[in-house]
Chains A and B, each alone.
Chain A
Amino acid sequence: MNRSVYPFYFGLAALIVYSIFFVLPGVMGIFYSFTNWNSYSDEIRFIGFDNLAKIFSGEGRYLGFIYNTLVFTVSTVILKTALGLFFAMLLNDGIRAKGFHRVMLFMPSIVPMLVVGLIFKSILNPATGLLNESLRMIGLEVLTQKWLTDLGWAFKSIIAVDVWKGVGYIMIILLAGLQSIDKTYYEAAEIDGSNFWQKLIHITLPLIVPALVVTTVLNLLHGLKVFEAVYVLTNGGPGYATDVMYTAIFKEFSTGNYGMGTALSSVLFVVMTVIGYFVVRLMSREGDER
């Protein structure tokens, strides 16, 4: 503070705007999560922890939504990181038309999720979709599935579509990490006779940890906040099998249960803050070591 060039009130305007439009609504949201605020009556009644109790008591399907969100988050983090790293290593060197391939892999990331969702909804249509039609054409009819309406497949399909869309972005970040690694390490390792896996585990991975931390944070937050992918592809169906936190929040708001909606978002807010805190600490520790 003593070393700062400008007095603190220079930031006041920004601080006020930020407080009014970000902090205040956030705090109000948490307050409303303790009320029965709804669209059917003018009166807002304080009901304490009733909403939260309902979420965690297992009545309704809220625990299922939380479980789905976690499954989604964990699987997309793992899949995107693994595939992203795989593609990044492929495209780091030793392949023709690197630039072209990089662009192709990155392309899905710039298309809005709604568009991707609509495209995949038609691709995954069991009767007329491209995927099942192709499988039938090459004689693999046994592999055809009702991708988005079968209880066993719907959620997997959503995860697959999200990974398809997100992997390019993760790949670009990891690629940048890979390119910052000095080639001499690999040359030295080769002279010592180490194989591909040894190089990967002892050189590549340790040196791209900062990039991996970034991608993990991004993936975690993206996973916890997932909405569009589920909303467009299945809208939570069949039944409630693929509902996640945000689709549940959206539904609560649309039925007019604003109190319950804010309670759910508050739960998510707390979870994300806790995760965010630890991840930021982890990152800053990484930074200090350097």
Chain B
Amino acid sequence: MKQRRTGTYEQGDDSYMKKWKTSLLSASVALTVVLAGCGGNNGSAEPSGGGEQGSGKKNITLTYMASQGWIKDSEMELAKKFEAETGIKIDYQIVPADQYFNVLKTKLNAGEGPDIFGGQSGYSEITMNYNVEKNAVDLSDQEWVKREDPLSIEQLTVDGKVYALTIWDTYSSFVVAYNKKLFGELGIEVPKTYEELKQAAETIKAAGVTPIYEPIADGWHHVMWFSEPGPNYDKLEPNLYADLNENKKKFADSQAMLDSLTQLKEMYDLGFFGDNSLSDTGSDTAAKLGSGEFAMSLSAQSLAVELADDYGFELDDIGFFPIPLTDNQIYYIHPGGPSKFIYSGSKYIDEAKQYFNFLTKQENLQFMLDNDPTISNLNFPGLENKYTAEQQKLFENYSERGTDLQNFVTYVNPQWMDIGKDIVAMLAADMKPLDVLKSIDQRREEMAKVAQDPNWK
């Protein structure tokens, strides 16, 4: 059960902390670049192909490089079956998460990519960081493309071409988890608007409980309050997402975003996060809710399992609702996730495609789902999920779906930690909400310029 928790946080990490992880090595980036020529060979000295084409079964080894946590044990078991069936062996090269993007980019730039490589999703990510049009194989004609969740497919599409396969639990977003017993005792209904959230928090505060545990010290977590209600901003200001991507609108032009930040600031000023939130860290979330000191927290849905395991809660003592800033009622999802790309320079493109076809067989997807504690559903239809009753309720109550900000709007994910700093400055009254938006615009412009984005010319 512990594993489930780790897995889900990792997913969160992967989505939000990408840049952060990459950053850890960046201090030595100058050196890395200087040594790129030699560095490219590290870890893949062996040739990607296993040798002669034997009779009957092929005798081929595919190298598959990915970041830690991206390849589930159940997939490795499937790979063994695949090898037994076809003779194609998969050689996994797992790289520690903090180094992965440096290693991958170095290899791709040096023209020595592995046969299959893992990567994150999103338009700006795959074009800017992996240059998929040059480095990855177009997979649009594959059969599984028709079955995979179209929202996931969209994340891996450039100019109408699909470049990667995503097999991931994309539906379990971070939502506000709340203590149902406490809500019941105080007679609080699940808030549907910001005003209701405010009322609820005031009632909770008056009862001597701190309303929301918000680990701002982590630097990335509090940014979700701003980014997750993204689809609601797009609803309030139609076509906002597209206009932002085409540079027809700036963040600073959006009243909805300004309102959202202003509301976040108000919550902070009213003491809803307690007076220690700037020093609080995410690893204490379960303990803080478990002790009854706090009533709510924006967290992974596996928090309920954790509380049930370690703090004597029942699974259905914890309920969920999406962040109601700007009165958001849309259940936001990150349709992307760690994905599998085939390297365009690989000698075994067909075999790699064969592997993807094997993985996406219905029975194999179900096998993965059944045999991995960190997965409760996958982004393919017709699978039997493992949702808890409260999760089911969440999905039923919030049927409207949308993609969160960072997975749709370009140049947001790469500046995640910077936005985090801006928001802290805003909470500390060192910056105004509008300045935070302007600062995001400025960094987007810088990134767009270096990426030579035609919309910013």
- Tell me the A residues contacting B by CB distance below 8 Å: 25, 29, 36, 38-42, 125-127, 146, 148-149, 151, 235-241, 250-251, 253-258, 262
Interface of A is mostly: loop
Closest to A265 in B: B30
Partner of B418, one of A41, A42, A255: A255
Q: Please tell me which one of the listed residues A29, A39, A241, A254 contacts residue B425 in the complex, with CB atoms under 8 A apart.
A: A241
Could you tell me the distance in whole angstroms from the C-beta of B326 to the nearest C-beta in chain A? 23
Contact in complex: A36, B450 (CB < 8 Å): yes
Given contact pairs A146-B279, A239-B428, A40 touches B22 in the complex (Cβ within 8 A): no
Q: Given the complex of chains A and B, what is the CA–CA distance between A42 and B452 in angstroms?
A: 12
B74 CB to closest chain A CB (Å) equals 34
Instruction: Contact check, A239 vs B425: say whether CB atoms are below 8 A apart.
Output: yes
Does B4 count as interface, using CB distance less than 8 angstroms? no
Query: Bound complex: CA of A224 vs CA of B85, how far in Å?
Result: 63
Residues B275 and A239 in contact, CB atoms below 8 Å apart: no
Tell me which of B23, B422, B426, B427 has the highest count of chain A C-beta atoms within 10 A of its own C-beta: B23
Further contacts, 14 of them, CB under 8 A, given A40-B447, A258-B29 = A25-B34, A127-B275, A127-B279, A146-B279, A149-B428, A151-B430, A238-B424, A238-B428, A239-B426, A250-B23, A253-B27, A253-B30, A255-B414, A255-B418
Q: What are 13 A-B contacts defined by CB distance under 8 Å?
A: A41-B451, A42-B109, A126-B275, A126-B276, A149-B278, A237-B278, A239-B426, A239-B428, A240-B425, A241-B425, A253-B30, A254-B19, A258-B33
Contacts of A239 in B (CB 8 A): 421-422, 424-426, 428, 430-431
> Is the beta-carbon distance between B276 and A127 smaller than 8 angstroms?
yes
Report B-chain residues with C-beta under 8 Å of the C-beta of A262: 30
B278 to A, closest residue via Cβ: A149
Residues of B within 8 A of A40 (CB): 128-129, 447, 450-451
Q: Given the known A-B contacts A239-B430, A241-B430, are A149 and B279 also in contact in the complex, defined by CB atoms under 8 Å?
A: yes
Neighbour of B26 across the interface among A236, A241, A254, CB < 8 A: A254
Q: Mark B12-37, 1 if CB is under 8 A from A, else 0.
A: 00000001101110110110011000
A40 to B424, CA, bound (A): 27
Q: How far is the CA of A27 from the CA of B288 in the complex (A)?
A: 52
Q: What chain B residues lie within 8 Å of A235 (beta carbons)? A: 219
Cα–Cα distance between A255 and B22 once the two chains are bound (Å): 9
Say if the beta carbon of B105 comes within 8 Å of chain A. yes
Which one of B109, B430, B452 lies within 8 Å of A238 (CB-CB)?
A: B430
Instruction: Please report the C-alpha to C-alpha distance between residue A258 and residue B418 in the assembled complex, in whole angstroms.
Output: 16
By a CB distance below 8 angstroms, the chain A residues around B262 are: none
Choose from B19, B415, B450 the contact partner of A41 (Cβ within 8 Å): B450
Which B residues touch A39, using CB under 8 A? Answer: 29, 105
Q: For the complex formed, measure the closest distance between the CB of B348 and the CB atoms of chain A, giving whole angstroms.
A: 26
Give chain A residues whose Cβ lies under 8 Å from the Cβ of B431: 239
Contacting residues of chain B (264-300) with chain A, CB-CB under 8 angstroms: 275-276, 278-279
B406 to chain A, nearest CB (A): 15
Residues on the A chain within 8 Å of B278, using CB:
146, 149, 237-238
Nearest-neighbour CB distance to chain B for A277, whole angstroms, equals 25
Cβ of A169 to closest chain B Cβ, rounded Å: 25
Q: Chain A residues with Cβ under 8 A from B451's Cβ?
A: 40-41
Cross-chain contact B428 with A241 (CB below 8 angstroms): yes
Would you give the 0/1 interface string for B442-457, flagging 1 where the beta carbon is closer than 8 Å to chain A?
A: 0000110011100000
On chain B, the residues within 8 Å of A240 by CB distance are 421, 425, 430
B residues in contact with A41, CB < 8 Å: 450-452
Most chain B beta-carbon contacts within 10 A, residue among A40, A125, A151: A40
**Are A126 and B30 in contact, with the CB atoms below 8 A?**
no
- A148–B429 CA distance with the chains assembled, in angstroms: 15
Interface residues on B, range: 35 or more
Residue of B nearest to A45 (CB): B450
Q: A237-B421, A238-B424, A239-B424 are in contact. Are A253 and B279 (CB under 8 A)?
A: no
Q: Which of B30, B275, B428 contacts A29 (CB 8 A)?
A: B30
Q: Which of B24, B279, B426 has the most CB of A within 10 A?
A: B279
Specify which of B26, B105, B414, B446 is in contact with A253 (CB 8 Å cutoff): B26
Complex Cα distance, B418 from A134, in Å, reads 35
- Are B430 and A255 closer than 8 Å at their CB atoms? no
CA distance A238 to B415 in the complex (A): 17
Supposing A238-B424, A239-B428, A254-B22 touch, asked if A125 and B27 sit within 8 A by C-beta, the answer is no
Known: A40-B450, A127-B279, A255-B414. A250 touches B425 (CB 8 A): no
Kindly supply a per-residue 1/0 record for chain B positions 74-109, scoring 1 wherever the CB is within 8 Å of any chain A CB and 0 otherwise. Answer: 000000000000000000000000000000010001
Chain A residues positioned under 8 Å from B421 (CB to CB): 236-237, 239-240
Chain A neighbourhood of B415, CB < 8 A:
255
Residues in B with CB closer than 8 Å to A236 are: 421
> When chains A and B are docked, how far (Å) is the Cα of A262 from the Cα of B33?
14
Query: A125, B428: Cβ atoms under 8 Å?
Result: no
Cα A25 to Cα B160 with chains together (Å) = 43
Contacts of A38 in B (CB 8 A): 450
Q: A255 touches which one: B19, B30, B105, B219 (CB < 8 A)?
A: B19
The answer to whether B26 and A250 touch across the interface, beta carbons within 8 angstroms, is yes
With both chains docked as a complex, state the minimum distance between the C-beta of A38 and any C-beta of chain B, in angstroms. Answer: 5
A25 to B29, CA, bound (A): 12
A249 vs B245: C-alpha distance when bound (angstroms): 29
CB of A124, distance to nearest CB on chain B (Å): 9
Residues of A near B20 (CB, < 8 A) are 254
Residue of A nearest to B448 (CB): A40
Q: How far is the CB of A20 from the nearest CB of chain B, in Å? A: 11
Q: Specify the chain B residue showing the minimal Cβ separation from A59.
A: B442
Provide the residues of chain A in CB contact with B27, threshold 8 Å.
Answer: 250, 253-254
**Bound form: Cα–Cα A238–B279 in Å:** 10
Least CB distance, B281 to chain A, in whole angstroms: 10
Enumerate chain A residues within 8 angstroms of B30, measured Cβ to Cβ.
25, 29, 253, 258, 262
Q: In the complex, what distance in Å separates the CA atom of A38 from the CA atom of B33? A: 11
A148 to B26, CA, bound (A): 26
Q: Nearest 5 A-B pairs (CB), nearest first?
A: A239-B425, A254-B23, A149-B278, A254-B26, A127-B276
Which residues of chain A are within 8 angstroms of B23 by Cβ–Cβ distance? 250-251, 253-255
**Residue interface mask B401-440, A partner, CB < 8 A = 1:** 0000000000000110010011011111111000000000
Residue of A nearest to B451 (CB): A40
**Chain B residues with CB under 8 A of A25:** 30, 34
Q: Distance in Å from the Cβ of B30 to the closest Cβ of chain A?
A: 7
Contacts of B34 in A (CB 8 A): 25
How near does chain B come to A26, taking the closest CB pair, in angstroms?
11
Chain A contacts for B429, CB-based, 8 A: 151
Give the residue of A125, A241, A254, A257 whose beta carbon is less than 8 angstroms from that of B279: A125
Q: Which single residue of chain A is at the shortest CB-CB distance from B452?
A: A41
In whole Å, how far is A156's beta carbon from the nearest beta carbon of chain B?
A: 15
Enumerate chain B residues within 8 angstroms of A250, measured Cβ to Cβ: 23, 26-27
Q: How far is the CA of A54 from the CA of B425 in the complex (A)?
A: 22
